[in-house]
Structure formats: structure tokens, C-alpha cells
Structure 1
């Protein structure tokens, strides 16, 4: 590192190593909090992808690889702030701490490029899978071009960071003489500007695909929330560009470098969280449904027995069969009263056949004498075992007029607590 001119050094205030002005412990608190949040979010994502959906893909591999340099970058920044006093002004930093601090700064340059590039590749890999499945050829080509640009940017800037000085030790050695290094200010501006542009590219690229989907309002709100997180991470990248520009114009490099690290840590960790949130949906919907679900089931005062299986469903009448017990048939203990004669009910709608492999023999019952039958007749039959109402065509009933020839007999079966299973036959009211 080349020292500032002598005139600048002489203009600095007297060093204060006892109680200097510092940034406080904001970096340590925020950095550790971000590291914990990223670790939990990524663990939930990998669990959901590996064991719940069993669709572990290339985007999960990239996000795992991005987690390692991103977390290391955050922890190194915390160590640099706490142990090497890089939260002070340059003139208040103890001289023996310059060299180890600059070595950690060089390591963080490489880690930042690697982490941000791998995070973008994870998002682009997921987007490529979606666009390929939807058949959007133009968007697929755009995603492939973006993957190539991000990969090339990562490779070039890591290579330049490693060989920016020859030998590399001149990067952290303090010298007032010219050094065999590239223009580090131009390198710093270029790397931050290109990374910020690719951040916005990755955030805005899926916008067309997301808006083209026919989704309900709830899912559109989730997409807007995710895009908001992406914009927040990209905005942190803009702030990082500003502080990087300050580094190239100010001689208080230690003070300004803390601000650049803080914005970079926010960008990296929020980016990983934003890329992992969609994959955690199944985990929260399964283990925390009351927190995750936004739709509520309609409550009813009517008790429902979920052991009753729906057999047929028609516009006129659904039919259920009880599966809760194999020894007896579930029948309502208090059947509704039959329709009175003056009440007209339209029961002449066709119903699908009801088939059951379980049967129960009903004792012969005598149909009481009524206006439709002038003589009692026994009924001995074997009917399917079911609960509720059964409709069957009524035969051998004398029609009262020409308009009421189509009739229906209602067989209502019910069982009391200590009674057998009687069967009553009621004719339907004429039309």
C-alpha cells in the first residue's frame, strides 16, 4: 500500500490511541445477526429441497457454495473491526495493525467477488429452469447470456485481485515509493460498478416472467415482496459503490473502508436470504401452517364426521358411505321427517348408480296401507349397506293422472340406539 503524500500525513490530527472516535459495535452486531439469519434460512432451504420436495438442483449447489465465502467475508469484517481497530480513523490506527488489516482486506476482496457471483448464478440457474419449462426461448437465451457474463466477471476480477501487485506482498506493505501494482483505484471502481449492474440485471430479469404468470393476488404479493428484498440488496450495492468511490478520493481509507464493508455484508447476506425464501415455502406451510397460511377455513357450527366417504356427487344430491366401522352401518339416529303430501319436491333427476361391496340383510317389512297401495305387501330384499337416503324408481303404483306417471320412492333407513334397522318406504309427491 502506498502511503499518502507527506503533506497529507502532516495535516492529520494527533493520533489518539486511548479513546479515539470509532464506529462503535454496529458492524459486529449487524454482521453476526446477518450470519445467523443466513445460516438458519439456508438450513431450512436445504432441508426442504433435500427431504421434503426431493428436488435438489444446481441452484442449491451454487447457494451452498456462496454461503461459505459470504459468511467468511462477514466474520473477517467483524474481526478486522474488533481486533485490528479498522473502525477508527486512519490516523488513530496503531501502526503495527496496518499490515494484518490490509491482508484481511485483500482476502475480503476475493471472497466478495466469489460470494456475489455464486449467489447470482444460483438465482439465474433457477430462472433458467423456469424459462426452459415454460418454453420462452428469448428469455432462456437472455438467462444464458447473463450466466456467461457473471461467470466471466467472477473469473476476471478474482484473477486481477490476485495479481494486482507483483509481488503480491506489495499490496499490504506500506511504502512511500511507487509500487509495481495496477491502478488500484480504477480496479476498485470497475469491480464495484460491474457488480452493481449485474445485481440489478439479476433482480429485474425475472420480472417479465413473473408478470406473465397468471397468479392469484396472494402469490403476486409474495413475488413483490421478494423483488423488494432484491431491490434492497441492490440498493446496498449502490451505497457500496459510493463508499468505494470515497476510498479512491479520500486519504482516510480505514474509516471509509468500514462503510464499504458494511454495505457489502448487507448486500451479500440479504441476497442469499432473498434467493432462499421461495424454497422455504413448503417447510413453513407444513410445520408452521398457522403462521404461513393466509387463508382460513370457514368455520361452521355443524359437526362433520370425516370418516364418511363421498361416493357420488351430483347436482341434485351427494351420497356418503360411512367407513368408520366395519361391523355396523352408520345411520342418522334422528332421521328428518318425511315430506308431507302437499309439499312438492322435484325428485325426478337422474342419479348415478351407487355400488357397494358390503351388504346387510333387512328383515321383511310390511308397507302400511295408504292411498297409493290398497293392500299390504311384504318386502324382502338385500340392499347395499349405506347411510342416508336412497332413491329408486317406484313401480306398480297406479298413476293418479297423466302428468304424474314418473314417480320416485324414497327409502329412508335409520337406526336408533337399541333398535333394529327398520326400513320405511315413502312415495314421492306427485308433480
Structure 2
């Protein structure tokens, strides 16, 4: 590394090694937090893709390979900030920390380029699989071309970084005069500009294709949020490019390089999180509902059974629980609300399709409703007859219940002359 001109060094203030100005511990806090979030998110993604959906593919391999240089890049910056005084001004850095600091700088440059290119290849591989399924030929070709450009850029950068100085140790050796190295400033700016441009292309390229898939509103909202996070990560790349340019015009390299590392760490970690969130949906769909099911059910079935009846006429009140994990009927189902007076409560019930595996048996006992007039509509209601069902064989095993898409239907009956609580008919059915 070539030292600044003597006139610049003479203009620096007196070194302060005891109580210098620093950036505090911001880099350590943010770096460790991002590394923890990335580790958890990626672990959930790999678990879901490997064991839940059985869809482990090339994009998962790429993002797993990108995780290691990303974590190494972040941890190196945290260690250098705390131990090698990266969070100080250049004139306040002790001389014994300059050479190891430059060695870690070169290592971090290679780690960053390796991580960012593997991450982009992972996103593009996933996008290629999506476009191939939709037969979007032009978009598929564009994705393949972009993957080839990114791969060539990565190979060229690694070769230039290794051969930028002859020998390579010249990079971290301090010298007052020119060294046998390429124009490092031009190499640094060109690399950051190319990385930033490809970042934005990878984020913007799939927007049009995804919006044309006619997705449900909920899924579309999630995708928009993910694109927003991707744009935030790409914006961090713009900031990184700016601070890299500042390194070429400002000799306070230690103070500015910390900003470059900080923006790069945010860009890499947010990129992995953004690319992994869609693949974590099966995990949360399988496990998070079980965590909240007991609380939701306990709050939902707490009611006052001694309140006034909904109507003064005989009617059927139907409650449908479409939860895929319900394995029993509630003891006290929630009555209908009183705000739908305009609805016809005497409409025939919808047909019930019973699963052939539930073991329902028809009982000969029959019941009938007498003819009466509705107090709401004044129209006569015709006689109804029903068949009571009971499950004498028990329910299937829990594992089989979770595999069935079923609805639990509970029917309750109250007559005009009944003054007591609603009587529950033990009807249980499963539908596919």
C-alpha cells in the first residue's frame, strides 16, 4: 500500500491512542444481529426445502455456499472493528495494526465478491425455474445470459484481485513510492459499479414476470414486501459504491472503509434473508399454527349460555370450523351474532359430504320439527326430518387427520318452548 503524500500526513492532527474518536460498537451490534437472523432464516429454509417440501435444489446449494463467505465477511469486520481499530481515523490507528488490517481488507474484498455473486446466482436459479414452468422463453433466456455475465464477472474479479500486485504481499506493505500494482482505485470503482448494477438488475428483472402470474392478493402483498427488502439491499450497494469512491479521493482510509464494510454487510445479509423468506412458508404453515391454536380456541369458545335466544322461532344454527388441525368438537360452540337479521335463517342446510374413512354409522333414531311460522319473516316453515349420525369407530390417527383437508360441522337446535341452554347434537363430519 502506498502511503499518502507527506503533505497530507503533515496536515493530520496529533495521533490520539488513548481516547480517540470512534464509531462505537455499532458495527458489532448490527453485524452480530444480522448474522444471527441470517443463520436462523437459512436454517428454516433448508429444513423446509429438504424435509417438508422435498424440493431441495440448486438455488439452495448456491445460497448455502453464499452463507459462509457472508458470515466470514461480517465476523471479520466485527473483529477488526474491536481489535484492529477499524472504527478510528487513520491517524489514530496504531502502526502495529496497519499491516494485519490491510491483509483482512484484501480477504474481505474477495469474500464479498464471492458471497454477492453466489447470492445472485441463487436468486437467478430460482427465477429460472419459475420462468421455465411458465414457458416464458424471453425471460428464461435473459436469466441465463445474466447468470453467465455474473459468473464471468466473479472469475475476472478473483483473478485480478490475486494478480493486482506482484508479489501479492506488496498490497499490505507500506511504501512511500509507487509499487508494482495495477491501478487499484480504478479496479475498486469498476468492481463496485458492476456489482451494484447487477444487484439492481436481479431485483428488477423478476418484478414484471411475477406480477403477470395473477397471484392472490395476500401472496402478492408478501412478494411486494420482499421486493422492497431487495430494493433496500440494493440501495445499500449504492451507498457502498459511493464510499468506495470516497476511498480514492480521501486519505482517511480507515474511517471511510468502515462505512464501506458496514454497507456491504447490510447488503449481503439482507439479500440472503430476502431470498430465503419465500422458502420458509411451509415451515411456518406447519408449526406456527400449532403454537397459537390452543390460545385462539380458548378465547373463541368462552360465551354466556344464559343470554336471550337469537330468535323466537325454531331454527338450525350451524358452526363450521375449517381448521386443518382440529381434532375434537368444542364443548360450548360460539352462537351466531345478532347483526344479520335480514338473512333467511330457514334456508336448507348445504349438503354434507362425508369422508369414507371417518367410520360414520347411521342410527335409526329420527326426529322431526313441527310446522310453525317464523317470527322474522312470517312465512310458514315446512316440516324437516333429519338423520342423526354418531362416530362409533373413533377418529383416525392424528397424523391422518393432519393430512386431510376437512371441516368440522356442528349443528345446534333450539325450540320456541325451550327456556334452557341450547342442546348440542353430537354431529361430527369430515369433508375433503
Instruction: Bin the TM-score by the shorter chain.
Output: 0.7 to 0.9
Give the aligned partner of residue 141 of structure 2. 141
Q: State the TM-score, normalizing by the size of structure 2.
A: 0.73
Residue-by-residue CA offset, 1:196-246 (whole Å, 9 max, x unaligned): 000000000101111101112111110110000000000000000110010
Give the aligned partner of residue 88 of structure 1. 88
Label 1:132 to 1:9 Cα distance change in 2 as closer, same or farther (>3 A): same
2:252 is aligned with 1:267: no
Name the SS of the counterpart of 1:288 in structure 2.
helix
Mapping 1:215-234, distance limit 5 Å: 215-234=215-234
Shift of 1:142: 0.4
2:23 is aligned with 1:23: yes
Q: Structure 1 stretches of 5 or more lacking a match? A: 309-314, 348-357, 359-387, 389-415, 418-431
Alpha carbons 1:322, 1:330 under 8 Å: kept: no
Residue-by-residue CA offset, 1:299-325 (whole Å, 9 max, x unaligned): 8974669999xxxxxx98625669899
2:369 is aligned with 1:337: yes
Alpha carbons 2:31, 2:75 under 8 Å: kept: yes
Mapping 1:187-336, distance limit 5 Å: 187-289=187-289, 302=318, 318=351, 329-330=362-363, 335-336=367-368
Mapping 1:47-58, distance limit 5 Å: 47-58=47-58
Cα distance between partner residues in 1 of 2:279 and 2:82: 35
Q: Structure 2 stretches of 5 or more lacking a match? A: 302-316, 329-347, 374-378, 385-391, 393-410, 412-424, 427-432
Cα distance between partner residues in 2 of 1:158 and 1:18: 39
Give the aligned partner of residue 71 of structure 1. 71
Label 1:11 to 1:217 Cα distance change in 2 as closer, same or farther (>3 A): same
Give the aligned partner of residue 304 of structure 2. none
Cα distance between partner residues in 2 of 1:326 and 1:34: 52
2:149 is aligned with 1:117: no
Alpha carbons 2:63, 2:118 under 8 Å: kept: yes
Alpha carbons 2:368, 2:383 under 8 Å: kept: no
Q: Which has the higher contact order (CA 8 A, sep 6+)?
A: 2
Deviation larger for 120-129 or 152-161: 152-161
Label 1:281 to 1:344 Cα distance change in 2 as closer, same or farther (>3 A): closer
Give the aligned partner of residue 379 of structure 1. none
Larger Rg: 1
Cα distance between partner residues in 2 of 1:324 and 1:5: 85
Cα distance between partner residues in 2 of 1:228 and 1:114: 24
Alpha carbons 1:284, 1:292 under 8 Å: kept: no
Shift of 1:336: 3.6
Alpha carbons 2:369, 2:383 under 8 Å: kept: no
Mapping 1:29-44, distance limit 5 Å: 29-44=29-44
Residue-by-residue CA offset, 1:62-108 (whole Å, 9 max, x unaligned): 00000000000000001111110011000000001100000000000
Shift of 1:45: 0.1
Shift of 1:285: 1.3
Give the aligned partner of residue 389 of structure 2. none
Alpha carbons 1:4, 1:251 under 8 Å: kept: yes
Label 1:234 to 1:304 Cα distance change in 2 as closer, same or farther (>3 A): closer
Label 1:123 to 1:20 Cα distance change in 2 as closer, same or farther (>3 A): same
Mapping 1:380-395, distance limit 5 Å: none
Residue-by-residue CA offset, 1:113-134 (whole Å, 9 max, x unaligned): 0000000000000000000010
Aligned residues: CA RMSD? 3.2
Cα distance between partner residues in 2 of 1:322 and 1:64: 43
Cα distance between partner residues in 1 of 2:118 and 2:125: 10
**Count of equivalent residues:** 341
Alpha carbons 1:322, 1:329 under 8 Å: kept: no
